[in-house]
A and B are shown apart, each in its own frame.
Chain A
Amino acid sequence: MSAYRHTPTARKVLRSLVPVICPPEAAALTDAIVDHMQLTFSTTPSVLRTALAAGFATYDLGALPRYFRRAHALSPDKAERYYESWVHGPTPVHKQFAQMLNQMMSLSCYEQPAMMDAIGFHVAPWIEESKKKRLTVFADDIKKQQARLLAPDPLRPARKKEVA
């Protein structure tokens, strides 16, 4: 995987969309959400990244005819209306791009520890608790399985490799 960095346009567009897509309580996490999206995009195929860059540029410039401003510079209510116009956009490509933004930003939003904490998802301590319980309560069975994994048990007991 090669490194991916948001273009300046993409970063500005994404920052402007955080209040549109994420819950209000995520406002303080804007940079973290946008950074997280960068990480996510870094694993996608290069063809998709190229499409993303084109999509962000189009989205940003597409606001000019209607609002005389680029999308990233719109006021919150205009940003909301402009995004909504893409959700119900004139072509499937508009709709898909808006949907992709919603999906990827929602994902990054709820990957933020503060957001997970706020909805009661405390998985890290639960994993530690589970691991500890398993290793103490079931230690004997775990050891037995590990011993079995290394014990000789040839698939063909009577044969060994025969090299001509």
Chain B
Amino acid sequence: MVAVALHEGTTPTNVFTRHDIHGDTVLDCDAVIVGSGAGGAPMAAELAEAGFDVVVLEEGSYYQTRDFTADTSAMVRQLYRDGGATMALGNPPILFQEGRAVGGSTVINGGMSWRTPDDILARWRKEAGLDVTAQSLEPYFERVERRIHAAPNDESAVGKDNWLLKKGADAKGWHTVGNIRNQVHCVGSNRCPFGCPTGAKQSALVSYIPRALHFGARVYADVRVERLTFHGKRATGVIGRVTNTDGQSHRVVVRAKLVVSACGAIHTPALLTRSGVRSRSGQLGANLGLHPNVKVIAIFDEDVTSWKGVHQAFQVREFVDQGLGCFAAVNVPPSIVAMSLPQRGAQLGALMHRYNNMVVAGLLMEDSTTGHVRTIGGRPQAFYQLAERDIGMMQQGLVLLSELLFAAGAKRIILPFHHAKEILTADDARRFFEQPIPASQWEVVTVHMMGTAKMGTDRLRSVTDPFGFVHDVDRLLVSDASLFPTPCRVNPMETIMTLATRAAGHVIDNSRRYLS
């Protein structure tokens, strides 16, 4: 029988973990990449194939598909930074999640693979001076999609929750698209956020990382990078630390000709800041976009069993022009549903007995404001205050989403507020949202953090150049969602991978410069 994923069952010889590092270690390479997710893994694979000696450092551990089990909270503890309890402070605080494992957040995302919309690229051209068009990026998009197998879902694997979402949208006459996901015959175990247990999702862990390893890259897991090193203005490597299985802590020093920070929009600005990098633009850590998400729980009479079926088979995109990125059905395990309900005791039990009748549906917003990441005691802390306009948009979005779900046959809907209200009809929803809902009442989450080291041509307004090289620092490249000048409105994974591939091409084209 075919293996669920490459290298399954054996640790590749060039993957090193806390079990393999028994003393202070010094490594030399052409390129050191901090982070192994959507930005780091493609960069590693492309550079390694071009003959670069590549070292990837990842704070999280190295797992394989067989490690991804039905134990939701164990998966969260293993794969999520701080057990998923990371928060952007504001009113309301916004819970965000980051992956912390080889493969980064691609291990825990839903696998949505969308190209950067044309109008977003136009905005990046206008606001940041970037030379990016759908045409100029086409070869990179195409290359990424081939590598991660971005494709429509098999229709037979679509679950009832998603068919109900589509039914409601169709009844309203709203535009729906089938999701494009990085998967090879996803059969709908619906465990994307907890590590794909079937190997179908082509996360970086099972696509770009094996390719990078195949072409000679070395991956060091369990290594937390403390700071970058410099000689004058030139980045020369990193210093990290690993705690081995005996509880002993060892230094890992990597000396490199090129340093790549690919640890995401929260940790890249923190790593740069604690390494002494300053941006004349004042934008390092600023410009944080989040794509705020809110969700509702709809209860149907019929059995839905939403944990059987592919994750987010459809997106409703009728209201994109109004800043409502999409509506989607998102299965959530019972423990996390229970966690989000204000009920307790017997009431909680009664509601949870309807778990298999529930559809959890969410809306993703294009935010109109920005937050920032501040580095406090070496650790990043995000701050983000929802804009009044965006709260208004969320209210409007929830009315529309409720209309859709009632049109699909929902009998009642639980709204995303503390002491959550239940509504029984679409009219209830309209009436409820006639009054402004105080910001403090909202329960908002996100997994799309962007923009904290934005790229651009003007060094007084951006942190990096259009390829991601940090202005005024030699050989320090950023390769993650930090680079986005504005939120990208769609799921950001493919944009990150595409920009990483494009930047890798630039490095390869100029290897004489970067490897001397």
Contact = CB atoms under 8 A, between A and B. Distances in A.
Contacts of A110: 333-335, 337-339, 352
Interface in B156-203: 184-189, 191, 197-200, 202
Which one of B6, B70, B143, B207 has the greatest number of beta carbons of chain A within 10 Å?
Answer: B70
B338 A109 contact: yes
Interface in B477-516: 501, 504-505, 508-509, 511-512, 515-516
B500 to A, nearest CB: 11
Contacts of B345: 19-24
A154 B47 CA distance: 9
B20 interface: no
Interface in A124-147: 124, 126-127, 130-131, 133-139, 141-143, 145-146
A142 B339 contact: no
Most chain A beta-carbon neighbours within 10 Å: one of B198, B336, B337, B509: B198
Interface of B: 1-6, 30, 46, 49-52, 69-74, 76-77, 80, 82-85, 143, 146-147, 149, 184-189, 191, 197-200, 202, 207, 210-211, 214, 305, 307-308, 333-342, 344-346, 348-350, 352-353, 355-356, 418, 501, 504-505, 508-509, 511-512, 515-516
Contacts of A121: 307, 333-334, 355-356
B344 A36 contact: no
A22 B191 CA distance: 25
Interface size band for A:
35 or more
B339 A107 contact: yes
A58 to B, nearest CB: 20
A44 B338 contact: no
A24 B77 contact: no
B175 to A, nearest CB: 30
Given A40-B83, A135-B1, A164 B515 contact: yes
Given A150-B6, A164-B516, A131 B189 contact: yes
The 10 closest A-B pairs by CB, nearest first: A23-B349, A43-B83, A161-B51, A124-B70, A138-B185, A106-B338, A164-B516, A110-B335, A107-B339, A130-B189
A138 B185 CA distance: 7
A23 B352 contact: yes
A159 B50 contact: yes
Contact of A102 (B342, B350, B353): B342
B478 to A, nearest CB: 19
